[in-house]
């Protein structure tokens, strides 16, 4: 009996000796259970990164798919090209033109969400031990990919204009002096996840200059580029440079994530390698999804729909800003996103966002601790708040609850010198604590 309990307790894995070295970093997250609780309706979740697709015209989509099946079903339900179907690759080029990217459909490969683009790029470029430069903090899903290929992530400091050029230059020089192989730097220039900041044009030009000088590839991840709240989008890195930049795009935020259609735009030779990797990974990306997205683009005013999404997210961003201004205690600061889904909150010294999470969930508000966005265990003084999914009223209520939790933590800190007794309250830190797909 005791033995059985111990087995359950240590979650003994009979297959543990058989796994590849790369699998040893893949362990289940201790905070998953907390997020399961956070999905209950009484909890305001400021943790999720799910787009709000309530405004999509279901009748239009339903009709378009019915038509698609009746008239083109036998092609849409068949195997297709490893690179992706020609029609959607043309449509993708049209979408990218909205951000001044000029590209040929032959240089586009369709992926199972842009997550798979990251996976396949890392697969073709990175040996174990190769260095990938990432922003500090960086997208949790990217860190998971880099870890799964046994890359070493080196974080580079950001400021309120995104990735810091001096820090980038220093990191490249230091790593090269140490004989390390740096494969690329990974960046989200617009409406950063999780930091909520955006690189202005002159910063982008400066970063590209550094990449060219160091002959370093840039992987530009741009899922939110069309979801800016004010004025025209800032030109993506790819629109300014086409031989050092590999661009990742996605329909997950401008249409819907459930089809899992993203893309990579890459220099021709790289695109060819990517297709061979895609064929090994899936034979071909989902053909029906590609036809469905193409049908949506052809049967709906998708540009108008993006404007509707933008206004909806802007209203939520405004609610988040108002809520934080009203309810955050002294010593707290946050970024002011001009687009996208996320705010990065910095806590007063001594408060640990990771240790605090169980108490926040008890107080019916959830967030993602900053530690999820670092490969090196840092980030505990920060958290990511998302405003993409809840209603404005719920967002404000969430910030109110969060404010109360923070006030309580601050009082505990004042009385006891620490917000909570470290051993008992703190969960293991580090990137293993990454949340599930609905939280990324």
Within 200-219, the residues that bind its own copies by CB under 8 A are 217
77 vs 201, which CB is nearer to its own copies?
77
Separation of alpha carbons 401 and 395, rounded Å: 10
22 vs 336, which CB is nearer to its own copies?
22
Task: Give the Cα-Cα-Cα angle 233, 86, 100 (nearest 5 degrees).
Answer: 15
95 vs 158, which CB is nearer to its own copies?
95
Tell me how far apart the 2 most distant CA atoms of the chain are, in Å: 71
Strands 245-250 and 217-221: parallel
Selected from 86, 165, 200, 267, the binder of its own copies by CB under 8 A is 267
Span from 18-26, 100-108, 304-312, 355-363 in contact with its own copies (CB under 8 A):
18-26
Q: What are phi and psi of 251, to 5 degrees?
A: -95, 5
What would the x/- binding string for its own copies be over residues 379 to 418, using CB under 8 A? ----------------------------------------
Cα first-last separation, the chain: 39
Residue 411, token pair as written in the block: 């009082």
Selected from 89, 155, 183, 394, the binder of its own copies by CB under 8 A is 183
Least distance between its own copies and beta carbon 361 (Å)? 20
Residue 227, token pair as written in the block: 């979801």
Strands 182-187 and 217-221: parallel
Least distance between its own copies and beta carbon 161 (Å)? 28
Separation of alpha carbons 76 and 283, rounded Å: 15
How many residues bind to its own copies according to rule CB under 8 A?
90
What would the x/- binding string for its own copies be over residues 135 to 174, using CB under 8 A? ------x--xx-xx--------------------------
129 binds its own copies (CB under 8 A): no
258 binds its own copies (CB under 8 A): yes
Least distance between its own copies and beta carbon 286 (Å)? 4
In the DSSP assignment, the letter for residue 339 is: B
123 vs 203, which CB is nearer to its own copies?
123
Separation of alpha carbons 266 and 270, rounded Å: 6
Selected from 7, 26, 94, 201, the binder of its own copies by CB under 8 A is 26
8 vs 424, which CB is nearer to its own copies?
8
Could you list the beta-strand ranges (E) of 122-265: 131-136, 152-159, 162-163, 182-187, 217-221, 245-250, 261-265
Selected from 205, 256, 363, 378, the binder of its own copies by CB under 8 A is 256
Selected from 201, 276, 298, 428, the binder of its own copies by CB under 8 A is 276
Cβ neighbours around 432 below 10 Å, total? 18
Smallest CA-to-CA distance from 368 within 343, 348, 349 is with 343
178 vs 269, which CB is nearer to its own copies?
269
Least distance between its own copies and beta carbon 234 (Å)? 26
254 binds its own copies (CB under 8 A): no
Could you list the beta-strand ranges (E) of 137-216: 152-159, 162-163, 182-187
313 vs 334, which CB is nearer to its own copies?
313
Residue 261, token pair as written in the block: 């259609």
Span from 5-13, 97-105, 352-360, 363-371 in contact with its own copies (CB under 8 A):
5-13
51 vs 369, which CB is nearer to its own copies?
51
Separation of alpha carbons 381 and 106, rounded Å: 45
Least distance between its own copies and beta carbon 342 (Å)? 16
Selected from 1, 8, 10, 15, the binder of its own copies by CB under 8 A is 15
Selected from 286, 369, 390, 403, the binder of its own copies by CB under 8 A is 286
323 contacts 398 by C-beta, under 8 angstroms: yes
Separation of alpha carbons 54 and 263, rounded Å: 24
132 contacts 146 by C-beta, under 8 angstroms: yes
289 binds its own copies (CB under 8 A): yes
User: CA torsion, points 425, 431, 436, 440, in degrees to nearest 10?
Assistant: 110
197 vs 248, which CB is nearer to its own copies?
248
**Exposed / middle / buried, residue 135 (Cβ in 10 Å: 0-12, 13-18, 19+):** buried
253 vs 317, which CB is nearer to its own copies?
253
Least distance between its own copies and beta carbon 76 (Å)? 6
243 binds its own copies (CB under 8 A): yes
14 binds its own copies (CB under 8 A): yes
Within 48-87, the residues that bind its own copies by CB under 8 A are 50-51, 53-54, 56, 58-59, 61-63, 65-70, 73-82
89 contacts 108 by C-beta, under 8 angstroms: yes
What is the full DSSP assignment across 36-47? HHHTSTTSEE--
Selected from 127, 326, 333, 362, the binder of its own copies by CB under 8 A is 127
């Amino acid at each position: 009996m005791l033995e059985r309990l111990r087995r359950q307790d240590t979650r003994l894995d009979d297959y543990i000796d058989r796994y590849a070295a790369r699998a040893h970093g893949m362990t289940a997250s201790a905070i998953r259970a907390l997020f399961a609780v956070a999905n209950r309706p009484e909890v305001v979740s400021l943790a999720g990164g799910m787009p709000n697709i309530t405004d999509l015209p279901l009748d239009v989509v339903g009709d378009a798919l019915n038509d698609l099946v009746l008239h083109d079903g036998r092609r849409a339900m068949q195997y297709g090209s490893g690179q992706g179907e020609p029609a959607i690759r043309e449509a993708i080029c049209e979408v990218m033109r909205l951000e001044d990217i000029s590209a040929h459909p032959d240089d586009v490969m369709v992926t199972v969400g842009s997550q798979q683009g990251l996976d396949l790029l890392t697969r073709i470029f990175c040996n174990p031990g190769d260095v990938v430069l990432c922003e500090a903090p960086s997208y949790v899903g990217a860190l998971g990919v880099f870890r799964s290929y046994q890359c070493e992530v080196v974080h580079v400091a950001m400021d309120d204009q995104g990735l810091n050029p001096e820090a980038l230059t220093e990191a490249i020089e230091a790593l090269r002096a140490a004989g390390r192989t740096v494969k690329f730097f990974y960046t989200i220039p617009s409406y950063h996840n999780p930091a909520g900041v955006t690189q202005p044009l002159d910063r982008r030009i400066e970063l590209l200059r550094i990449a060219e000088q160091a002959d370093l590839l840039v992987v530009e991840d741009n899922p939110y580029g069309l979801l800016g709240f004010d004025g025209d989008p800032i030109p993506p890195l790819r629109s300014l440079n086409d031989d050092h930049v590999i661009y990742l795009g996605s329909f997950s935020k401008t249409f819907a994530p459930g089809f899992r259609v993203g893309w990579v735009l890459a220099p021709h030779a790289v695109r060819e390698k990517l297709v061979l990797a895609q064929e090994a990974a899936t034979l071909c990306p989902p053909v029906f999804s590609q036809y469905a997205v193409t049908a949506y683009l052809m049967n709906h005013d998708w540009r108008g729909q993006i404007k509707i999404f933008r206004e909806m997210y802007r209203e939520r961003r405004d609610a988040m800003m108002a809520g934080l201004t009203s309810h955050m205690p002294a010593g707290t600061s946050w970024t002011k996103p001009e687009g996208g889904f996320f705010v990065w909150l910095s806590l007063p010294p001594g408060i640990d966002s990771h240790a605090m999470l169980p108490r926040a969930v008890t107080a019916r508000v959830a967030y993602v601790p900053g530690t999820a966005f670092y490969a090196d265990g840092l980030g505990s003084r920060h958290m990511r708040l998302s405003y993409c999914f809840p209603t404005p009223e719920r967002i404000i209520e969430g910030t109110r609850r969060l404010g109360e939790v923070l006030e309580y933590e601050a009082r505990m800190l004042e009385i006891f010198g620490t917000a909570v007794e470290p051993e008992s309250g703190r969960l293991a830190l580090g990137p293993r604590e990454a949340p599930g797909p609905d939280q990324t």
